[in-house]
Amino acid sequence: MSVSKTALRPFGTLVPAMATPFTVDGEVDYKAAGELANKLVDDGCDGILVTGTTGETSTLTDEENLGMFQAVIDAVGHRARVIAGTGTNDTRHSINLSQRAAKLDIDGLLLVAPYYNKPSQAGIQAHFEAIANSTELPVMIYDIPGRSGIAISTETIIRLADHRRIIALKDAKADFTETSRVLANTDLDVYSGDDGLTLPLMAAGAVGLVSVSAHIAAPAFRALIDAAAAGDFVTARRIHFALDPVIRAVMGHVQGAVGVKQILKWQGFLPNSVVRLPLVEPGEAEIALIKADLAEAGMEV
């Protein structure tokens, strides 16, 4: 679909970066994926990012990525926006996967900064523009230097905002000053890519959150985002503080996909906590820390 800059929040406002369920044999469990997607929408999420970082995209084949896109579309229909994680560090590969995703009923693409290669800023810009030019889908670019090994500079983001299909930024840079410059100088829909920074970024004009912790606390994140959007920062601040131990439980002791799968298994929303190597499931010490944080948050497992 072609989208204008004036389209109303084409990616939603509370967007879980959905985990990819596996069977005990390590195969993608598309049935469990559909069930998890429905649970997230029922809990208040209006967008779902499929096969992003938390979806373990780096260890999925293209066919598995496409299968996950279709499984989530089939499950949630038009109840939420479905965003496909199709970015890689290979521009031609990303174009091919994006074009194949575009043949499905996908609402948009998430494109991560190209990792490992360490291109120049001109190369990063050319990479994103080439992929955005390859389909009619709206694009969210993803700035996460801690994983990609390179940041998208503020100047590059401002230039990319001129592209008619690049309409959003997932910001996981944790540099409030630079993100404020993006908000001040572009009309991009900015999303916090760090659960704990949702409130300050929304106070500066961000529109929502692409989240890991929303898997287990979507109603609270929904309330925080709605309160912040309405200017009710007393309520938003109260929820922000209450969510701190939840975010620590999911992200503070193990990689996000590892933590969220473990908790979803305890809650009965996933049949297991299997992850693909090189990720491994949490050990006893890590489990104790996760449970302590959940207990602090008042969540029983």
Which residues are annotated as catalytic? 142, 170
Are 262 and 273 within 8 A, CB to CB?
yes
Residues 6+ apart with CB under 8 A from 268: none
The backbone torsions φ and ψ at residue 132, rounded to the nearest 5 degrees and listed phi first, read -60, -35
**Cα–Cα distance for residue pair 139/77, rounded to 1 Å:** 20
> Is the peptide bond between 200 and the residue preceding it cis, with omega within 30 degrees of 0?
no
- Residue 231 burial class via C-beta count within 10 angstroms: exposed 0-12, middle 13-18, buried 19 and up: exposed
Q: For the CA atoms of 9, 98, 57, 149, what is the dihedral angle to 10 degrees?
A: -80
Are 205 and 199 within 8 A, CB to CB?
no
